[in-house]
Amino acid sequence: MKYDTQKFKLIKNQEIATGIFDWVVENKELPALAKCGQFAHVKVPGKTLRRPISICDATDTTLRLVFQVKGEGTEIMSKMKVGDEVEILAPLGNGFKIEKGKKYCFIGGGIGVPPMLYTAKQAENPLVITGFRDKSLVILQDDFKKAGAEVVLTTDDGSAGIHGFVTDVLKERLNEIGEVCACGPIPMLKAIAEICKDKVPCQISLEERMGCGIGACLVCACKTKLNGEEGYTHVCKDGPVYNAEEVVL
Amino acid sequence: MADLGVNICGVHFNNPLIAASGTFGFGHEFSEFYPLETLGGISCKGITLKKRDGNPPPRIAETEGGILNAVGLQNPGVDHFIEKDLPWLRKQNTVIIANIAGNTQEEYCQMAEKLSNSHVDFIELNISCPNVKSGGVQFGTSCESVGTITNAVKRHCTKPLMVKLSPNVTDIAEIAKSAEYNGADVISMINTLTGMRINIDTGRPIIRNNTGGMSGPAVFPVAVRMVWQVANAVKIPIIGMGGISKWQDAVEMLMAGATALQIGTVLFNDPYAPVKINKGLNDFLDSKGMKSVTELSGTVKPW
């Protein structure tokens, strides 16, 4: 795999929900290489570390990156202006593996929803289950519909869509599903993996504090069990997407 | 075009920039950006006698002008390194430095013996890792312990021996003298400064190990000061590191007394930093009418 970091032009920056920003960045070369579930390592002016952001959508010349302001780095990103130059190392990591002719269920929780959009576009008639804390954080519902997905909305407090968790919906619909792909908070992933265990295959996308983004510095450790042996692999290079049964959650 | 090549212990480096241990793995990943001969050398990820899993995550935190890390020496062990990683590294036309860390003096000596029979160019004694429970920095914080371990390893080592110093000491020049007296051929410095960050919402340290080693531009002035002090205290060459992130830093570190340089944290921000630093260094030398980078070393004119 060849890596490259290049200058991108910010062509859209919009707050689409409270503290959640929708970026579209343009570059002639790198976006075309992106696969669903991969991420982009964004250089932030004045910061030592880059920020790993999941790829929400891609065309041959653009990447869409939807991120939540969590700290100083993402705050700086949220204030950047259309027309600004951004340096991005992308695409990175192993994404979701999508097979033809399978009924997929894509599940996103909170800021784990964005990577499921480009992923959902790779499958036929997928079921997408999205979960948010409350109404103010709901994102991307129309995008999923436009992509031809059946999208189900849940909120923890019932302020929008179904009052409940993504797992409630998953349990009800499990018998019509061939494979599950999920991204979101660890407790959610853990619950999903438990429901899928011995029934349907399940891929999950993880996050961890990251350094180099390419597997050299070994900081973004994830405890995995491969061939019966427990050890640390690295989210940036071995992940971010793993088979759920390989991960010690 | 100035000559960027440097010679240390009879080993030729294409240029003075060496990837610092722990930031570059065993080189495979960065070779996807550029040929590794772009660098003068590679100090490999710290290796131990037996495979180590390292610390639980999070292993990294950001701070103003730098980072803290506590990887805990995750590595596949010295035998795996020699059999699986070194043959490929050896073909990359760059100097290969094996960085070793042990729990005991015996482990350091065993590894030095194994690596002396391999094709590495240098052995770098890591007695300054702040992130493991036993070994590491415990050997690196007193003149006596540094002297003892350097002396012991030297007797099992036929490769040039580089001793990597910890900045977490009272008088680094005295430590360097002890390493030199006991057989160190080169000093590399500085390893990270022990630091800590706390998440104010949870009250928990951000790094699972509680503390971590601080690196990045914020530590640069400390590193320059220490390199300068050690350059005034020893005759053996110094490989300077600690926060070098642009060509001006490289010039400064050389002026302080370094013969060559290691760069690490900047690679996370800009993987192409070595290419840019070498170009800037070359242009600077040309502008000053200097023919070789070696002319810069130790040229600081203190007040």
Is ipTM strictly over 0.90?
Answer: yes
- Is residue A1's pLDDT more than 70? no
pTM of the model: 0.95
- B109 a catalytic residue: no
* Residue with more model confidence, A125 or B132: A125
CA of A184 vs chain B CAs: smallest distance (Å):
18
CA distance A177 to chain B (A): 33
List the single best residue of A41, A230, A232 to mutate versus B (max B Cβ within 10 A). Answer: A232
| % chain A with pLDDT above 70 | 100
B contact residues 227-286, partner A, Cβ 8 Å cutoff: 265, 267-272
How far, in whole angstroms, is CA A233 from its chain's centroid?
19
Would you identify the CATH topology of the domain A5-92?
Elongation Factor Tu (Ef-tu); domain 3 (2.40.30)
Task: Name every chain B residue with its beta carbon within 8 A of the beta carbon of A232.
Answer: 53-54, 57, 74
List the single residue in B33, B65, B268 with the smallest CB-CB distance to A50.
B268
B62 interface with A at CB cutoff 8 Å: yes
| Chain A residue with minimum CA distance to B265 | A48
> What is the rounded radius of gyration, in angstroms, for the C-alpha atoms of chain A?
17
Which residue among B32, B57, B267 sits closest to A2, beta carbon to beta carbon? B32
DSSP E strand stretches across B76-211: 95-100, 122-126, 161-164, 186-189, 193-195
In whole angstroms, what is the distance from residue B168 CA to residue B171 CA?
Answer: 9
Q: Whole-angstrom Cα distance, residue A215 to residue B29?
A: 7
Which residue on chain B is closest to A207 by alpha carbon? Answer: B58
**Candidate from A214, A216, A219 with C-beta closest to B59:** A219
- Local structure of B128: helix, strand or coil: coil
pLDDT tens digits for range A191-224:
999 999 999 999 999 999 999 999 999 999 999 9
- pLDDT above 90: residue A229: no
- Domains plus CATH for chain B? 6-296 (3.20.20.70)
What is A89-100 written as a DSSP string? Answer: EEEESB-----T
- Point out the residue among B22, B60, B267 whose CB comes nearest to the CB of A209: B60
Sketch the domain layout of chain A as residue ranges: 5-92, 104-207
Contacts of A215 in chain B (CB under 8 A): 25, 29
In this prediction, residue A2 has a pLDDT band, given cuts at 50, 70 and 90, of: confident
Query: Nearest C-alpha of chain B: how many angstroms from A43?
Result: 7
Please report residues of B whose CB lies closer than 8 A to that of A47. 62, 269
C-alpha distances (whole Å) from B298 to each of B245, B255, B281, B303 are 20, 5, 16, 14
- A70/chain B closest Cα distance in angstroms: 12
CA distance B288 to chain A (A): 30
Q: How far apart are CA A95 and CA B23, in angstroms?
A: 24
A220 CB neighbours in chain B (<8 A) are 57, 59-60
DSSP B83: I
B71 inside 8 A of chain A by CB: yes
Amino acid identity, position A177: I
DSSP A164: S
- Whether residue A221 and residue B57 make contact (CB cut-off 8 A), yes or no, is yes
| Among the listed residues A40, A56, A57, A47, the one whose alpha carbon sits nearest the alpha carbon of residue A4 | A40
A217 → chain B, closest CA residue: B23
Residue B68, beta-bridge partner list? B61, B214
pLDDT digits (tens, 9 = 90+) for A97-123: 999 999 999 999 999 999 999 999 999
Instruction: Kindly state the average pLDDT of the residues A137-145.
Output: 97
Of the candidates B44, B109, B129, B157, the residue annotated as catalytic is B129
Task: List per-residue pLDDT tens for chain B, 303 residues long.
Answer: 899 999 999 999 999 999 999 999 999 999 999 999 999 999 999 999 999 999 999 999 999 999 999 999 999 999 999 999 999 999 999 999 999 999 999 999 999 999 999 999 999 999 987 777 666 777 898 999 999 999 999 999 999 999 999 999 999 999 999 999 999 999 999 999 999 999 999 999 999 999 999 999 999 999 999 999 999 999 999 999 999 999 999 999 999 999 999 999 999 999 999 999 999 999 999 999 999 999 999 999 999
Residue A62, C-beta contacts closer than 8 angstroms, at least 6 positions apart: A11, A24, A25, A26, A27, A31
Q: What is the pLDDT of residue B134?
A: 64
- For residue B58, give the nearest of A73, A87, A208 by CB distance: A208
Give the rounded percent of residues in chain A with a pLDDT score beyond 90.
97
Residue of chain B minimizing CA distance to A42: B269
Left (φ > 0), alpha (ψ -120 to 50) or beta: where does A20 sit? Answer: beta
- Pair B29, B178: CB distance under 8 Å: no
The CATH number of the structural domain formed by A104-207 is 3.40.50.80
